[in-house]
Amino acid sequence: MRTALRQFGERIDKVLVIDDDQDFVLLMRRLVEDNPLRPCQAIGAFSGQEGLLMLRLHRPDLVFLDLGLPDLAGTEVVEAIRNEPEWRETPIVIVSGQDEMANQQTMRGAVVIEKVGGLTPSEAVRWIQEVADSTLTAPPATPERPATPPR
């Protein structure tokens, strides 16, 4: 996973946040766009279908994805992204505080953050910075164990 993320390096200029919590999406957009260390364009989507549409329209360099969406399971969104050749290499950061990680095969190539209570916006900004700087320190994901965020 580190090798795949390293390829993106400085090319992370657009971040897509897919989450049904509108306040979280709006806050994330503001934090990402106003980050003095690495400002990026941020796009929000509030459902899986809207997220896939935003992928087509904006071609983001990084996707933050909640698994608990109202219309599609987050695993279906990951599957759609991985099955589309032009999106296949897009880094995905999955944030979940629930036990939704049972189907690890569907999470292929995604950084999985299992965190009770979800991810705070400041933690998400830190992850964006780490991916952009290619300094992600989480161990690579294996079929038996998803990647975990650095502590």
Separation of alpha carbons 131 and 136, rounded Å = 6
pLDDT of 7 > 80? The answer is no
Cβ distance 116 to 136 under 8 Å?
A: no
Separation of alpha carbons 29 and 104, rounded Å = 28
Separation of alpha carbons 33 and 41, rounded Å = 6
Separation of alpha carbons 83 and 77, rounded Å = 10
**Helices marked H in 44-120:** 48-58, 74-83
Q: What is the pTM of this model?
A: 0.69
Which domains are delineated in the chain? 2-132 (3.40.50.2300)
pLDDT of 8 > 70? The answer is no
Q: pLDDT of 16-51, one tens digit each?
A: 999 998 988 998 888 878 877 667 899 999 999 999
